[in-house]
Amino acid sequence: MSLSFGVGSIVVTSGGSAYGSAPSVLILGASSVQATATASLTSNAVSSTTITNAGSGYTVAPQIIFSVTSGNGGVIKIKTRTEGLTANGTLLGGTLLTRGYAAKLLAGTKDTSKYKFEFWTGTFKGLDANGEPYELVEANTQPALLCSSVEFATVSDFIDWAKQDYYFNLYFKLDSYSKYGTGALDANDLSGNTGYALAAGGSEYYASSYMDAALDSITEENNTYFLCDQWGDNGQSVNNTKILSFINNDSNFKKFMFVGGGYNDQKLLGTNSSTAIAQYYNSDRVLVVHSGIYIPVVGGFAAKDSIYHAALCLGRIAGLDAQVPGTYKDIRISGLVHVASKKQREQMTDNGVMHTFQDPQLGWVIEQSINTLQKNSVLYNADGTSYEHSIGKITAQMQREITQNAKVLFVGGNLNTASATDVYTFTKGYLESKLAKPNADNLIVDYQDITVVLNQDSWVVSFGFYPNSPINKLFFTGIILDKSISIQ
């Protein structure tokens, strides 16, 4: 079976005016077979187009240009910097720009014989998986003005401004332009371009190779976390698995990923449940967060998917110093879709599923910042892994800091400028700087056994350290004493 991607239709967003004959249609875009089309006129304006060959192999948005061969003025084609469907301008009720980009041609205000362009964007943020708006409902949004051009009389004047204006080039770029005769605009141009001229033609096509290329491009990036955008029933997806493979095998530094788990009590156990997702990953690099959440909205509360819960937990934990555990840290929600019982919470802890609960004094808090590692009967495993995420954060920060700082000092040196003594002294100094003290918290409580061994053109450094590990539980035992009983 083979797949091809061609041009399915052309939507006429502005038919223009004063065409003596049907203009030619040129379709540009990366393709294996060129697409072709013809235009039809009604009352000297373009009213429709007919695809004569859909072409194939289009994996980017086709570009459509109507060319004319007589008269003054010209053609200006502008691309948005934002790619894909979100850049396409959309009007609600035919007049309100709510999504994407658009431009307006207006008469000058300082000089009414001239003209100016205004460039706008819609501000509607879309709907979540439950059909609720992320922010305002679409009808209550207002478009935002991005920039206005200088007042101009000719196409050339506008082009000169567009080439050098910072704000225009922040959001847009000139794709192509041409002028006819003097390139002067007149009243017909203004009357023929009323309202918004919408950005159109943005499209999206994804292939698995794109994820591979994206991950390859960030191998050396200094980020710590990934928030996976496939959750719940898709929590064990191919792309999520690729991210974990990248973290384990390709990333220069230790990283972690958060995955939204099951939405409700029916998705705690069983197929595609939070427990199944955690057991699937079984990694100290992956944290799975169970349950949808409730957040306050105008008039009440709205339910949000587990990805929102995962995002809140990630943000709360990422904002803490590495040695500070996520345990009992509030995440400021209004409630949970699945309020788990104590027994269910114990099950989640045993199965490596992060979760929150309502503490009478602290509010909705993370019970413990645990990862999905299934080997979790002891805090430290012999292979250096731990179910406690703060310990992973400590090791990740130390790895990043010590390797980056040592690279600057020693890589590119020689046995004289980067001696064993130099490397040992640097390592000891770094570890000393990370020791926790009575009035200054830090990453580790002790270290030992620094060794520096030469292996051909590399210094191989090893050391042992004791992480500043968390206190996640307290147990008190009181013994009743009877003062009337004396022991001889």
Per-residue pLDDT tens digits for 252-290: 899 999 999 999 999 999 999 999 999 999 999 999 999
Q: How confident is the model at residue 351 (pLDDT cuts 50, 70, 90)?
A: very high
Compute the average pLDDT of residues 341-356.
Answer: 97
Q: How confident is the model at residue 354 (pLDDT cuts 50, 70, 90)?
A: very high
The verdict on residue 315 lying in a domain is no
Q: Is there a single domain that holds both residue 30 and residue 44?
A: yes
* DSSP single-letter state for residue 235: T
- Amino acid, res. 150: V
Q: Considering 177, 198, 219, which residue would you say is the last residue of a domain?
A: 198
Q: Is there a single domain that holds both residue 166 and residue 189?
A: yes
Q: Is there a single domain that holds both residue 89 and residue 182?
A: yes
Q: How confident is the model at residue 12 (pLDDT cuts 50, 70, 90)?
A: low
- H helices within 206-264, ranges in order? 208-217, 238-249
Q: Is there a single domain that holds both residue 124 and residue 155?
A: yes
301 contacts 314 by C-beta, under 8 angstroms:
no
Compute the average pLDDT of residues 365-381.
Answer: 96
For the segment 443-483, what is each residue's pLDDT rounded down to a tens digit? 999 999 999 999 999 999 999 999 999 999 999 999 998 88
- Amino acid, res. 124: F
Q: Considering 144, 168, 198, which residue would you say is the last residue of a domain?
A: 198
For the segment 155-185, what is each residue's pLDDT rounded down to a tens digit? 889 899 999 999 999 999 888 877 777 778 8
Distance between CA atoms of residues 36 and 28, nearest Å: 10
* Percent of the chain surpassing pLDDT 90: 65
* DSSP single-letter state for residue 470: -
Number of Cβ within 10 Å of residue 392's Cβ equals 25
357 closest CA partner among 344, 376, 370: 344
- Domain count for the chain, please give it: 2
pLDDT at 370 over 60: yes
Average pLDDT of the chain is 87
Number of Cβ within 10 Å of residue 284's Cβ equals 26
At 34 the pLDDT is 54
202 closest CA partner among 114, 300, 57, 87: 87
Q: Is there a single domain that holds both residue 25 and residue 101?
A: no
The verdict on residue 422 lying in a domain is no
At 51 the pLDDT is 64
Distance between CA atoms of residues 298 and 171, nearest Å: 32
Q: Is there a single domain that holds both residue 62 and residue 88?
A: no
Q: Is there a single domain that holds both residue 75 and residue 23?
A: no
Distance between CA atoms of residues 369 and 319, nearest Å: 13
pLDDT at 55 over 70: no
Q: Considering 181, 198, 215, which residue would you say is the last residue of a domain?
A: 198
* DSSP single-letter state for residue 151: P
311 contacts 292 by C-beta, under 8 angstroms:
no
At 31 the pLDDT is 42
49 contacts 35 by C-beta, under 8 angstroms:
no
At 27 the pLDDT is 55
Q: Is there a single domain that holds both residue 62 and residue 169?
A: no
Q: Which domain holds residue 61?
A: 1-70
Distance between CA atoms of residues 483 and 203, nearest Å: 83
The verdict on residue 243 lying in a domain is no
Distance between CA atoms of residues 368 and 166, nearest Å: 48
Higher-pLDDT residue of 174, 340: 340
Distance between CA atoms of residues 274 and 340, nearest Å: 13
The verdict on residue 269 lying in a domain is no
Phi, psi of 76 (to 5 degrees): -125, 125
The verdict on residue 342 lying in a domain is no
pLDDT at 397 over 70: yes
354 closest CA partner among 293, 274, 292, 288: 288
At 47 the pLDDT is 73
Higher-pLDDT residue of 102, 192: 102
Compute the average pLDDT of residues 74-81.
Answer: 83
129 closest CA partner among 309, 304, 273: 304
The residues that bridge with 440 in the sheet, in sequence order, are: 437
The verdict on residue 278 lying in a domain is no
Distance between CA atoms of residues 45 and 228, nearest Å: 48
The verdict on residue 89 lying in a domain is yes
Compute the average pLDDT of residues 237-260.
Answer: 96
Q: How confident is the model at residue 302 (pLDDT cuts 50, 70, 90)?
A: confident
Instruction: Specify burial of residue 463 (Cβ count, 10 A radius: 0-12, 13-18, 19+).
Output: middle
Please give the C-alpha separations between residue 256 and each of 304, 316, 477, in angstroms, as whole numbers: 23, 14, 38
Question: Considering just the CA atoms, what is the radius of gyration of the chain in Å?
Answer: 31
Q: Is there a single domain that holds both residue 140 and residue 116?
A: yes
At 248 the pLDDT is 96
The verdict on residue 417 lying in a domain is no
Q: Is there a single domain that holds both residue 124 and residue 161?
A: yes
Distance between CA atoms of residues 77 and 114, nearest Å: 20
At 109 the pLDDT is 94
At 69 the pLDDT is 31
Q: Is there a single domain that holds both residue 96 and residue 25?
A: no
pLDDT at 36 over 70: no
Q: Is there a single domain that holds both residue 75 and residue 192?
A: yes
